[in-house]
Amino acid sequence: AQSVSQHNHHVILSEAASLELGCNYSYGGTVNLFWYVQYPGQHLQLLLKYFSGDPLVKGIKGFEAEFIKSKFSFNLRKPSVQWSDTAEYFCAVNLNAGNMLTFGGGTRLMVKP
């Protein structure tokens, strides 16, 4: 069965610091990759997604992620975080042939003003 690992459970940064959140998945076939964000008190929202093509994908609010197939990774990055980026971030995977999403355990990001 596929699984998703997010190695950083809690991250604390100061505003303007750069962010990289790790995500690794275990599945050898073709996958679709997603990052979702959950702001305090709000529901899960899609940040960005990768289906095919350019492995560097850009999402909303200045976020981007790079798919490295050889490393089974899909790390999320942002060059300069803001206080408003404080949230929980979830990496998710699904198979082309399937529809269920498999989520990682999440990374809780706190940005200090």
Partner 1 sequence: DTGVSQNPRHKITKRGQNVTFRCDPISEHNRLYWYRQTLGQGPEFLTYFQNEAQLEKSRLLSDRFSAERPKGSFSTLEIQRTEQGDSAMYLCASSFGLNNEQFFGPGTRLTVL
Identify the burial level of 8 via C-beta atoms within 10 angstroms of its C-beta, where 0-12 means exposed, 13-18 middle and 19 or more buried.
middle
Q: Report residue 11 as tokens.
A: 């991250």
Q: Minimal distance in Å, beta carbon 13 to partner 1? A: 20
CA 27 to chain centre: 17
Give the residue, chosen from 14, 45, 82, 84, that forms a contact with partner 1 under the rule CB under 8 A. Answer: 45
Q: How many helices (H) and strands (E) does the chain have?
A: 0, 12
Closest CB to partner 1 among residues 17, 94 = 94
Query: Binding of partner 1 at residue 103 (CB under 8 A)?
Result: yes
Which residues inside 25-44 make contact with partner 1, applying CB under 8 A? 32, 34, 36, 42-44
Q: Minimal distance in Å, beta carbon 51 to partner 1? A: 7
Amino acid at position 81, single letter: V
Q: Report residue 14 as tokens.
A: 């100061």
Q: Minimal distance in Å, beta carbon 78 to partner 1? A: 20
Q: What's the N-to-C CA distance of the chain in angstroms?
A: 41
Contacts with partner 1, residue ranges (CB under 8 A): 4, 6, 32, 34, 36, 42-46, 49, 51, 90, 92, 94, 98-106
